[in-house]
Amino acid sequence: GQQVMQIPQYQHVQEGEDFTTYCNSSTTLSNIQWYKQRPGGHPVFLIQLVKSGEVKKQKRLTFQFGEAKKNSSLHITATQTTDVGTYFCAGRTGGGNKLTFGTGTQLKVEL
């Protein structure tokens, strides 16, 4: 079945440093979504990418979808303590009704 892996599993950064998490799928995706889950909370939708090579920005967050639509990345510039949480990618194949979630990257930001 479809597998979606994320690296790294954990990342500790000092406040102000940049952070990147990478998402890799075993199959070509029709679209990819990113979610953020704060400690003890539930996943919250951040963004969706659909087109090959697509890049979207939300303030300090930059999302990319690979040319082959099998990988994606989330980059945070100048991290803040409010960025703490686990970031998940989630991909969909074909016209299916299901998302396959990645393994997640847990981000900790130290002052």
Partner 1 sequence: NAGVTQTPKFRILKIGQSMTLQCTQDMNHNYMYWYRQDPGMGLKLIYYSVGAGITDKGEVPNGYNVSRSTTEDFPLRLELAAPSQTSVYFCASIAGTAYNEQFFGPGTRLTVL
Tell me whether strands 31-37 and 19-25 are parallel, antiparallel or unpaired: unpaired
- Residue 59 in contact with partner 1, rule: CB under 8 A: no
The one segment of 39-47, 52-60, 61-69, 76-84 that binds partner 1 by CB under 8 A: 39-47
* Binding residue count for partner 1, defined by CB under 8 A: 25
Q: Which of 105, 92, 11, 20 is nearest to 62 (CA)?
A: 20
Our CB check for partner 1 shows the closer of 8 and 16 to be: 8
- Residue 79 in contact with partner 1, rule: CB under 8 A: no
- Residue 8 in contact with partner 1, rule: CB under 8 A: no
> Is residue 40 helix, strand or coil?
coil
**C-beta of 76: minimal distance to partner 1 in Å?**
19
Query: Which residue from 98, 108, 109, 111 is in contact with partner 1, where contact means CB under 8 A?
Result: 98
- Residue 7 in contact with partner 1, rule: CB under 8 A: no
- The residues near 82 (Cβ < 8 Å, ≥ 6 apart) are none
Give the CA dihedral 99, 74, 49, 91, nearest 10 degrees.
-20
